[in-house]
Amino acid sequence: MKRAMREIIFDTETTGFDPASGDRLVEIGCIELINRVPSGRTFHAYYNPQRDMPAAAEAVHGLSSTFLKDKPLFASGVDDLLAFLEDSPLVAHNARFDFGFLNHELRLCGRADVSMTRMIDTVAIARTLHPGAKHSLDALCTRYGIDRSHRIKHGALLDAELLAQLYIELTGGRQIGLGLAQEEEKAATDGELGAGAMVRPVRPARVFTASAAELERHGRFIATLDKPIWLEEAQPG
Domain membership flag for residue 74: yes
Exposed (0-12), middle (13-18) or buried (19+): which is 103, by Cβ within 10 Å? middle
Domain membership flag for residue 154: yes
Exposed (0-12), middle (13-18) or buried (19+): which is 222, by Cβ within 10 Å? exposed
Q: Is 218 a catalytic residue?
A: no
Which one of the listed residues 61, 93, 104, 154 is annotated catalytic?
Answer: 154
> Tens of pLDDT along 20-31?
999 999 999 999
For the chain, list residues with pLDDT below 50: 175-189, 192-203, 234, 236-237
Domain membership flag for residue 135: yes
Domain membership flag for residue 179: no
pLDDT number for residue 181:
43
Domain that holds residue 68: 6-170
pLDDT number for residue 207:
53
- Longest Cα separation, the chain: 86
Helices (H), 130-228: 137-143, 156-170, 180-189, 212-223
Q: What is the CATH number of the domain that holds 123?
A: 3.30.420.10
Domain membership flag for residue 145: yes
Domain membership flag for residue 86: yes
pLDDT number for residue 231:
60
Q: CA 172: distance to chain centroid?
A: 10
Per the structure, the count of domains in the chain is: 1
Domain membership flag for residue 30: yes
Measured distance CA(89)–CA(82) in Å, rounded: 13
Domain membership flag for residue 93: yes
Report yes or no: 97 and 66 within 8 Å, Cβ to Cβ: no
